Amino acid sequence: MTNKLYKWMNWPKIEEIIYSECDNPHELLGPHKLGSQTILQAYFPGAESVTVQWDFAEDAEEHKEIEMEVADEDGYFAALVPVKEMGFYRYVVSYGDGRSFVTGDPYRHKVQIDQKDIDKFKNGIHYTIYEKLGAHPMKLDGEDGTYFAVWAPNAMRVSVVGDFNRWDGRLHQMRRLSDGGIFELFIPGAKCGDNYKFELKLKGGLTYLKADPYGNAAQLRPDTASVITDLSGFAWTDQEFISNREKFQTGEVPMSVYEMYLGSFVNPKEGEIYANYREIAPKVISYVKEMGYTHVELMPVMEHPFDGSWGYQVIGYYAPTARYGTPQDFMYFVNELHKAGIGVILDWVPAHFPRDTYGLSNFDGTCLYEHRDPRQGFHPHWGTLIYNYGRPEVANYLIANGLFWVEKYHADGIRMDAVANMLYLDYGKNDGEWVANMYGGNENLEAIEMIKHFNSVLKKRDPGVLSIAEESTAFPLITGKLEEGGLGFDLKWNMGFMNDYLDYIKTDPYFRSYRHGELTFSMIYAYSENFILVFSHDEVVHGKATLVGKMPGDREQKFANLRLSYAYMMTHPGKKLLFMGQDLAEFDEWNENRLVEWDLLKVPEHKGVADLVKDLNALYRSQRALYELDSRREGFEWLNNISGNECYLSYVRKAKEPEDMLLVVANFAGIPQEITTGVPYEGKYKEIFNTDDVKYGGTGVVNKTVKKAQDVKWDEREQSVTVKLAPLSLSILQFIPYTEEELEKVIEQRLRKNTPVKKAAGKTKTAGKKETKRA
């Protein structure tokens, strides 16, 4: 090495780079002005020679070049270039075995994360931090490559390793930004489809690999690398759906959700393990449209290593699982469902994460994402780690992630899993396994604040997108307004309804009278939150039996109980959710290794259940009484909820207009009954649905004739009707006000008997059109 160049060498810093312990390689590597010249330094471990080329002509053939001098035989090179401003240049690297390659210089580019980004991230309010951290293909200073950034404040050194550098952590050591613990580097030539990880070295010398916490794609398990991808290229065509989304799914509208696991819906092609998102989409659309569901809810599509977790133990929070294709394939899936008018809700798991060593656990040698104290950071039942929600960067990671799926993948709802685990410090733990909060209580104050923060930002940035809580306790105001002290969710899973109802219905009808309260208790708290009624995947796995399998009695009674259950859920206040396969009355429990048993549609009993669910969905979407006042007490009225010995219920569902009212009579007894029930209005009642209809697999005990309210006092009402019901069946009757002519005859009869007439808010019908008269 020439003396002139030798004296500019910072040997201690060079040693840091060679020993891969440098967190600011840009201090030496890359171009640095030296008067009217530029000094270039580069490190290519094991290289024999390096030539730098610059001043390219337009055809890129003509250029200037100079061979760099060897500063260290391990592969450290330097050169003085007689140019003050280098512009674009490249290295030609040669090895003793004849190998060579051409590359740009990663260390000539400026930082792409500014202080404003860092400050927002440190304060937990950078809602698009995923656009800064992670891997982002781009053109920078005229070069195509990928920009990498990762948060690892306690690492001594971080490198990017991948297909583009033979997984050599010495080649692309990253720069630590002066504040915030972020490392970054732009790598020319790193392209979409390349696999990569971050290599971290700790002060004690321990060196290991981690997948990218913000990676947008990942390898198919069991491989664990992140994959470079570009999310900007997909052409969305769902603008019409998005513009109408708030009207479609918020407020008093019908919402019937088909919960599904993507891997169980479609048979893959021969030789494939899973079907592609693009293959699944048209079949989901066809089935969901035929059955009348409004939404699908996908069990977690975020990348996860263990099939048996069904996606609920997430490693790649920012990557749709590679099991079914690429991120662009998943975008296609959502886009196609939107074009078909179907909403897409995604399960999201911010409550815990697995301990897999390539993931978030002990990320930078410290408990960065989790708590250090296992009483705070470890969940003993699940064997997973709990997020440190009080660390702003961790809360930011999660909040931005929820927004990411809404804003990058057009999700219409985020269903937050295991909210109870987040709310309570002692959830699933014994004494001594948890630490109280600062006030001595068991509430996780940091998690509560994170949830409120997420819901607040979601409503401001993406109005009309639903936030749904899977929460199983009596924690108050889950769906309460944020400004009134609530958590700000739009909907809460009604786990109480599901558990109480299933406990009741699986009891032999002979003994149900003793459990009648479980059937009606849900209406005591039905309006304390905005609920969605669920028969979810949790109830048909792990030895719990499927829904039809839970039902008592012989085969015929099991199906009758199931039809009754679906009709009761559909007429009970609350949105609706049903897990895949249950609308076919599957007897086999679901697991991730099997498909939905579509062949059951060839069996009359099972086809009857499917037809029943289809007709219930149609009824739900067409009858205003089933949704228009769904979250208001005036939308529901018990007529008889105290006949436990007889095991029946009667109630009405109401809409804004009285003539839209529906009467529901349900027989939970194992014997046929003629049930007399009081009715709120004088008029006619026409059966429009009966679970015992032969087309649903019933015995055909239905009420074909229109029923007129009779002058028989019942259930503290002046008038009543009598409905004939088969064992384990439910009837829905539509209220039809009298025409003026019919009403006049009734009034005349009442006057003779001196009996009052209770009209439906003074409304009558004439010749097919409605008139409003005030009584």
Q: What's the pLDDT tens digit per position in 102-153?
A: 999 999 999 999 999 999 999 999 999 999 999 999 999 989 999 999 999 9
Kindly state the percentage of the chain with pLDDT values over 70. Answer: 97
- pLDDT the model gives residue 180: 80
At 712-752, the pLDDT tens digits run 999 999 999 999 999 999 999 999 999 888 888 888 877 87
Q: Return d(Cα 162, Cα 171) in angstroms, integer.
A: 10
Per-residue confidence (pLDDT) for residue 169, from 0 to 100: 96
Structure confidence by residue, pLDDT tens digits, 467-517? 999 999 999 999 999 999 999 999 999 999 999 999 999 999 999 999 999
How do residues 565-618 score in pLDDT, each as one tens digit? 999 999 999 999 999 999 999 999 999 999 999 999 999 999 999 999 999 999
Kindly tell me if the per-residue pLDDT of 52 is higher than 50: yes
**Is the model's pLDDT at 1 over the cut of 90?**
no
Question: Which of 212, 238, 470, 583 is an active site residue?
Answer: 470
In DSSP notation, 302-364 reads EE-S-GGGTT-S-SEEEEE-GGG--HHHHHHHHHHHHHTT-EEEEEE--S-B---TTTTTTTT
Residue 420, SS3 per DSSP = helix
| Res 775 pLDDT > 60 | no
Instruction: Tell me the mean pLDDT in the region 337-345.
Output: 98
pLDDT at position 420 over 60? yes
Which of 117, 417, 462, 615 is the catalytic position? 417
Q: Which residues lie closer than 8 Å to 574 by C-beta, 6 or more apart?
A: 494, 497, 526, 531, 532, 533, 630
For the question of residue 417 being annotated catalytic, the response is yes
Reading the block at residue 254, the tokens are 């019908």
Q: Looking at residues 442-452, what average pLDDT do you find?
A: 97
Please list the residues that pair with 731 across neighbouring strands: 665, 690
The per-residue pLDDT for 375 is 93
For the chain, give the longest Cα–Cα distance. 125
**Which spans in 100-173 are helix H?**
115-122
Q: What is the pTM of this model?
A: 0.93
Written as six digits, the tokens of 125 are 């309010």
Which of 224, 339, 231 is closest to 281 using CA atoms? Answer: 339
Query: In whole angstroms, what is the distance from residue 57 CA to residue 62 CA?
Result: 5
Mean pLDDT across the chain, nearest whole number? 93
Residue 360, Cβ density class (10 Å: 0-12 exposed, 13-18 middle, ≥19 buried): buried
Residue 508 CA to its chain's centroid (Å): 37
d(CA 458, CA 467): 8
Q: Is 143 a catalytic residue?
A: no
Phi, psi of 559 (to 5 degrees): -65, -40
Instruction: Please give the Cα distance from 178 to 119 (Å, whole number).
Output: 12
